[in-house]
Structures are given as C-alpha cells and as structure tokens.
Amino acid sequence: MQTINSPPAFRQKKRPPLLALFALTLAAVLFLFVLPALTQQPVVLTMLMQGQDIANWRPFVREFEQKNPDIRINLVEGPFDTNLIENLYTSAFLLGDSPYDIINMDIVWVPKFAAAGWVIDLTDKIAPKQLSKFISGNVEGGRYRGRLYRIPHASDAGMLYYRKDILEQAGIAPPATFEEMASISQNLQKQGKTTWGYLWQGKQYEGVSAMFVEVLAGFGGFWANPETFEVGLDRPEAIKAVEFLKSTISSRISPPGVTTYGEEETRLLFQSGQSLFLRNWPYVWRLANAEGSRVKDKIAIAPMLSSIGQQGGSCLGGWGWGISKTSKHPEQAWRAIQYLTSEETQRKFILETGLIPSYRSLFTDNEIAAKYPHYPQLLKVVEKPALRPPLAQYAQASDILQRYLSAAFTGRMSSEKAMKAAASETRNLLGSLRNS
C-alpha cells in the first residue's frame, strides 16, 4: 500500500510534528532575543590617571558602574609626574588610535590637545549656567580659542604650608613676603628650632615651572604673554626671582637637594618634621595631617608669598576630563564625565579625600568647612592665580624654562646668562608661531 511504502521524509512533510514546530520557535526566540541580551557586553571606557588619583576616584567610578550597568571603566595607572603622563597621552595620540576614551587633562595641556584636534569640543554639551558654578580659572583653563574641551574635576593652587606650632612658640606671625620668610627661617634655624627653612620643587620637570611662575609673579615679573608673544624671562624681575631661589640654597635655608626634588620629595621631608615652610599643592594637607605624620595638627596654610610691595599669586593647577576624538564611545564617556563631575559626586569626593573642589559653593559648604576649616581660606588662594601661559606650544616653552632654571639652580650657569638664553629660545619658539 502506498501509505505504508512511502518514504519517511514524505510522511513528515505531510504532517509536521508539533514538537518540531515548538523546537523551531524556541530556537528562533533564543537566537533573536535571549542570546544577544546574554552576550551583550558592557561598553568599556579606558581612562589613564596618576596612581594617587586612581585610588581616590575608584570608589566613585565603581558607584557610576553600578548605576550604569551598560558601562565599565578601565582605570589605567600612570606615573606621578604630570609630564610623564602627558608623554603617554601624546605618543598614544600620535600613533593614531588612542586607547584612552576619557582624557584626564592637566590645565596646561588643553591648548595643545585641542589645537592638535585630539579631544572633542564639549562646548554645546554643557549649559553656561552649569559652567558658571565652577571656579572661573578652572573653566577658562579648559578652553581653547573660545571652545570648551575639559570639565574641571579638581582645582589646584600652589600655597605656603608652615609649622604653626613652631611659629606660635616663637611668638612670630606667619610671613607675607619672601624676605620675611627667609629671615624667620634663618633665625629659627640658628636657634635649632628647625633643620631647614623652606622647601620648594627645583627638579627639571613641569613642577619647577609651576613653582617658578609664583616666584616670578611675586617679584612682579612675567613669563610670556599668549596674545602679544612678549617674553619677560630676561627682565630684571625674572633674574631677581631666580637669584632669590638660588640664595635659599646658598644660605642653607633650603637643602641643596631641592634642585632634584619634586612635590613628593618635599612633602615627605616636611612631613617628617624637618622644615618650617613648604611650597606645595593642596593634596599635602590630608597626608601631612594623617596618622603617623610628624606634623599632624601642627601646620597651617597661607597664600603664596611675594616680594615686598608686590602682589604675587598662586600657580593655578588643576585637572579635568575631556573625550578623545578617536573614542568609539563618546556618548558613554560623556555620561561618565557628567556623573563624576556633578556637584553631588564632587561633594562626596571632597569629604572623602580632602582634595580641592572645582565648584565654588563647596569651599564654603557647612559640612565640608566643618571637616576642613582651611577651605574658605583656600578659595581666596584659588581665586588669585598666577597663570602659566596658555599656549598651544606650552610644553616646549616649559621645557625651555625647566632646562635653564635647572642650569641656574645647580650653578652650571649664572642666573642672568641662563635667563637670557631661556628668553631667547622662547622668543624663537613664539616667533616661529607668529610666522606660522
């Protein structure tokens, strides 16, 4: 009989079993909906930061990830010195396809990174009203030719730390001028109250330029004018500034080692109780007042010094985030930046770390000021800045200054010869810009 003799395939075709239909539908559902959902990986954003910053930011980055499960942030730990980090970024950008999505920028890199087209223009992403809540110097430091490339997450300003216990005991008021600071130091060194008077950063790196703009401003001088390209490094005020720093070494107010010290070396020496005064950034406050520090509860801060009759100022530093032009995930990177730079996150971050806000209101916030009583004073320091010139070629200009300052500090050149050479090279650099 035909039915009995028909091949099995023919029989199946005639009556597709329900089970097969069900299996087929299930497979389709799995393939189209369930599998993609299961295998969809979160977007990974890569962010390079200095080691000490990563430790501070990690909990807030994790908090962001918990609230945004579609995004992961891969934190890459870099070295301490700002120019070493800048070199890492620069070589990554020059190679073409930067592995970094979120760029943690020092205030002095913005013109260079923006001019090179390495970072995205963020101007239209943030309302002017929101921007006006930040310290204006920090916002301006994020602009290049009127466009915004960086949202500030931390302010920084050079300041004077001093041993209030020693000064109080000696009945001496904190100094306002370099000259007073030098004579107080020598006086108390002679009495055996302190080993060293003043610690500053004299190593050949970006920190020496930052330190020097303050002394330069303190003697009424200037480095370079970013608009007129005028250079002031060989003017008498600039030479006096170098001479003053050299004199701290020759009169043993400062240890000879300052010519090789960066921020950390000077902090550690101050923290071990060996100096009366220190020039450094605000990050020192929390570490110097931590358990185990010899100067815990014995220190105070003051705005940066100036010479008699001069105004002076603190070098404005600070960090902020931008987005790499080559990032494949700019939208997600912006979400992360918005979260991490919100006032609410920053408030928690500051309470946790004792670092310096970029929002003005946080300096006088009740809870913050109760925990860090020096913050309202700090606001004055941050709002009276001495700027490093915002040039696209800032890295080269700073490199010139660093080399000649180092030559002068270590006695390889006289202050005058060194500053004349620094000025002439800087003029060549800026001249070639003017002609380009």
Spatial contact of 149 and 121, defined as CB atoms under 8 Å apart: yes
Could you tell me the smallest distance in angstroms from the CB atom of residue 260 to ligand GLC?
14
Q: Is 106 in the site for ligand GLC (CB under 6 A)?
A: yes
Could you tell me the smallest distance in angstroms from the CB atom of residue 190 to ligand GLC?
32
Distance CA 354, CA 349 (A): 8
Count of residues near ligand GLC by CB under 6 A:
13
Instruction: Report strand pairing: 385-386 vs 314-323.
Output: parallel
Q: Is 379 in the site for ligand GLC (CB under 6 A)?
A: no
- 43 DSSP assignment: E
H-run or E-run covering 323: strand 314-323
Q: Which stretch binds ligand GLC (CB under 6 A): 106-114, 251-259, 303-311, 328-336?
A: 106-114
Could you tell me the smallest distance in angstroms from the CB atom of residue 210 to ligand GLC?
5
Spatial contact of 350 and 364, defined as CB atoms under 8 Å apart: no
Q: Among 48, 92, 105, 107, which residue interacts with ligand GLC (rule: CB under 6 A)? A: 107
Q: Is 156 in the site for ligand GLC (CB under 6 A)?
A: yes
Q: Strand, helix or coil at 385?
A: strand
One character per residue 47-76, x = contact with ligand GLC (rule: CB under 6 A): ------------------------------
Q: Among 178, 200, 281, 375, which residue interacts with ligand GLC (rule: CB under 6 A)? A: 281
Burial of 172 (0-12, 13-18, 19+ CB in 10 A): middle
Encoded tokens for 135: 């310290």
| Choice between 208 and 276, CB closer to ligand GLC | 208
Distance CA 346, CA 151 (A): 12
Q: Is 285 in the site for ligand GLC (CB under 6 A)?
A: no
Instruction: Report strand pairing: 102-106 vs 314-323.
Output: antiparallel
Could you tell me the smallest distance in angstroms from the CB atom of residue 109 to ligand GLC?
9
Work out the widest C-alpha separation in the chain, in whole angstroms. Answer: 124
One character per residue 174-213, x = contact with ligand GLC (rule: CB under 6 A): --------------------------------xx--x---
Q: Strand, helix or coil at 290?
A: coil
The residues binding ligand GLC (CB under 6 A) are 82, 106-108, 156, 206-207, 210, 263, 281, 317-319
